[in-house]
Amino acid sequence: MFFADAPTFYGTQYVGKDEAITGRFYEMLVANGGALFDDAWNPTFNSEAGVMTVQWFKDLYDAKAVPAGVLNYLWDDTGLGFASGTVALNLDWAGWASFFNDPENSKVAGDIGLVRAPKGAGGKRSGWSGSHTFSITETCDNVDAAASFITFLTDHDRQMIEASAGLLPTRSQVWVDAKAKFATDGNDFLVEVFETYAKSMAEDAFTPPLIEPWIEVSNEIWPRLQGAILGEQGIQEALDEAAEAAREVMEDAGYL
């Protein structure tokens, strides 16, 4: 709110629809000491921590500390928004790092700082995370060729290419080699990116709930988050409705 000067400059921004805002709500809920589910898969996000988390989104929206269109934003929108030079603080993943520091694409190139996400009320940092993967189907008619192709796509040299673009590799040796290459090239920014994200991934990152109906649960949560942010219903009411709907999804899926 301190940095905001709408409509030309904003303090921050957030993804505001689909699984994107469910995930952002989830990671901040955890940082604030809450949880989406208990150990028996009962929805528990309609808690005090849940209300506190949604209130954060709403307060920023009401104060015009975020762009008016955030409830339509997905990841590309926040990335391009930060690169436009109109947003002070941006919570994002490392894949945007090189783009943000490329003067051909970004107005903030050469003027970026990087830190781990701050701790929430529960003493934890936000950081939901995961990885895209390759797989071979059971009906594949040439398993050897498929496995060879996946091995090629994920070998050291290919991961070095991706790491050079700021993407985070899965091979531990590539972390070491890429960071050394950045240091040799004088690319202090990407050295900082890799050092910061290495610590964040080791100490802060956690996955979404590893459940089959994750998207179904998300689809019950995010429209109600939007409604609460817009003031169309109370925060507690919205979360209670979402929790009950999520419970039905989990029951139908056999988790309860």
Render pLDDT for 110-129 as a digit per residue (tens, 0 to 9): 999 999 999 999 999 999 88
Q: Which pLDDT tens digit goes with each residue over 227-254?
A: 999 999 999 999 999 999 999 999 999 9
Residue 172 and residue 98 share a domain: no
pTM of the model: 0.92
Residue 167 in any domain: the answer is: yes
Tell me: pLDDT of 61 over 90: yes
For the chain, the average pLDDT equals: 95
Considering the domain architecture, whether residues 152 and 107 belong to the same structural domain is answered as no
CA distances to 113, 142, 162, 224 from 9, rounded to whole Å, are 18, 54, 32, 28
User: Are both 188 and 214 inside the same structural domain?
Assistant: no
For the chain, how many structural domains are there in total? 2
Q: Are residues 36 and 151 in the same domain?
A: no
Look at residue 130 and tell me whether its pLDDT is greater than 90: no
pLDDT higher than 90, residue 95 = no
Structure tokens at 118: 């701050």
Instruction: Output the pLDDT for position 191.
Output: 94
Q: How far apart are CA 88 and CA 108, in angstroms?
A: 10
Confidence category of residue 50, pLDDT binned at 50, 70, 90: very high
CATH number of the domain within which 218 lies: 3.40.190.10
Burial of 195 (0-12, 13-18, 19+ CB in 10 A): middle
Give the pLDDT score at 166. Answer: 81
Task: Say yes or no: 239 and 116 in one domain.
Answer: yes
Q: With respect to residue 12, please indicate whether it lies within any of the assigned structural domains.
A: no
Q: Which residues contact 252 (CB under 8 A, 6 or more apart)?
A: 213
Last residue of a domain, one of 183, 203, 223: 203
Residue 3 lies inside a defined structural domain of this protein: no
Statement to judge: residues 232 and 116 lie in one domain: yes
d(CA 213, CA 250): 7
Q: For residues 103 and 190, state if they share a domain.
A: no
- Residue at 133 is within a domain: no
3-state secondary structure of 161: helix
The verdict on residue 11 lying in a domain is no
Q: How confident is the model over 166-193, as pLDDT tens digits? A: 888 889 999 999 999 999 999 999 999 9
pLDDT of residue 32: 98
Percent of the chain clearing pLDDT 90 (strictly above): 91
Q: Based on the domain organization, do 29 and 58 belong to the same domain? A: yes
Q: Could you list the residue range(s) of the whole structural domain that residue 152 is in?
A: 143-203
More confident residue, 94 or 192: 192
Do 122 and 180 have their domain in common? no
Q: Is residue 164 part of a domain?
A: yes
In a domain, 32, yes or no: yes
Same domain, 175 and 79: no
Q: How confident is the model over 55-63, as a mean pLDDT?
A: 98
For the record, the structure tokens of 17 come out as: 């629809």
Q: Which residue has the tokens 């989830």?
A: 26
Angle CA 57–55–44, to nearest 5:
105
Q: Is the pLDDT of residue 133 over 90?
A: no
Q: Are residues 110 and 29 in the same domain?
A: yes
pLDDT band at 10 (very low <50, low <70, confident <90, very high): very high
**DSSP letters for 203-243:** HT-BPPP--TTHHHHHHHHHHHHHHHHHTSS-HHHHHHHHH
Same domain as 26, residue 120: yes
